[in-house]
Amino acid sequence: MSGKRSLIRSGTTVDQMVRAIGDRIVTGYLRPGEKLDEASLAARFDVSRTPVREALGQLSAMGLVERRPNRGAIVAVVTQDHLASMFESMAELEAICARFSAERMTSSERRALEIEHQASSRMVRLGAEEDYEYFNTEFHSRLYRGAHNTHIHDLTVMTRSRLAPFRRAQFMLPGRLAKSWQEHDLIVTAIMRGDSVAAGKAARDHVSIVSEASAVFAADDRQPIRRDVA
């Protein structure tokens, strides 16, 4: 979880499988409820079933996959209730990160946050959604790191990745880009002032709004899944 090999390409086959399968889940390529057949996955990635099984076990420990004994694994199905609880948690976690960031960010962290944030305004003007998404991710990462608390960082990143499939469509709402930027701006301003209460509130509100935007799309994802594994 707080593994250091985040960017490094992993050594073992199992790690690669965890990332490969995990990515496909997080990016929505594999949809909730979809069956994860050991043999097919093994064939697809040209390894034996053993590393696939280990990977599925780890993904199950992370909550991305559900395993029914003797009945195979499926991409974790997220109920509306659970989804709501994750979004609510996310709001609280981000609030904590923002609050701590307001109190603890070093001056260079603050500077970097502000600069990146200002840079992202260009993407808003251009309506460059892909590019804005990059800045957006970076922005939130800076908040998590700025909290100077590795455990909160890990919990937040984990929760965020679990929500990723449900957040992807959010920027398709018209005007969402500009609104997101303004919300970020509130957070940045509060952090620069060292106003931890305001920063926390702004961050919580930001996520809450995203959550409402996403709920709409989550509702679509109801149809059963039938798709090639890779």
| Closest approach of a second copy to the CB of residue 56, in Å | 9
d(CA 76, CA 117): 34
- Among a second copy, DNA, none, the one that 30 touches (CB under a kind-dependent 5 to 8 A) is none
- Min dist. Cβ of residue 18 to DNA (A): 10
Residue 117 or 140 having the CB closest to a second copy? 140
C-beta atoms surrounding 58 within 10 Å: 17
34 token code pair: 């979809």
- What 3-state class would DSSP assign to 35? strand
Size, binding site for DNA by CB under 7 A: 21
Give per-residue burial for 80-107: e unless 16+ CB within 10 Å, then b. Answer: eeebeebbebbbbbbbbbbbbbbeebee
> What is the distance, to the nearest Å, from the Cα of residue 13 to the centroid of all Cα atoms in its chain?
24
Q: Which residues contact 206 (CB under 8 A, 6 or more apart)?
A: 94, 180, 183, 184, 186, 187
Residue 102 binding target from a second copy, DNA, none, CB below 5 to 8 Å by type: none
Among 50, 118, 137, 182, binds DNA (CB under 7 A): 50
Contact residues: a second copy, CB under 8 A: 1-2, 10-12, 14-15, 18, 50, 53-54, 57-63, 69-70, 81-82, 85-86, 88-89, 92, 96, 149-152, 154-155, 159
C-beta of 58: minimal distance to a second copy in Å?
Answer: 4
Whole-number minimum distance, CB 53 to DNA, in Å? 6
3-state helix, strand, coil in the chain (%, to 5): 70, 5, 25
Decide: is 71 part of the binding site for DNA (CB under 7 A). Answer: yes
26 binds, among a second copy, DNA, none (CB under 5 to 8 A by kind): none
Among 209, 100, 190, smallest CA distance to 144 is for 100
- What does the binding site for DNA look like in residue numbers (CB under 7 A)? 1, 12-14, 36-39, 47-51, 53-54, 67, 69-73
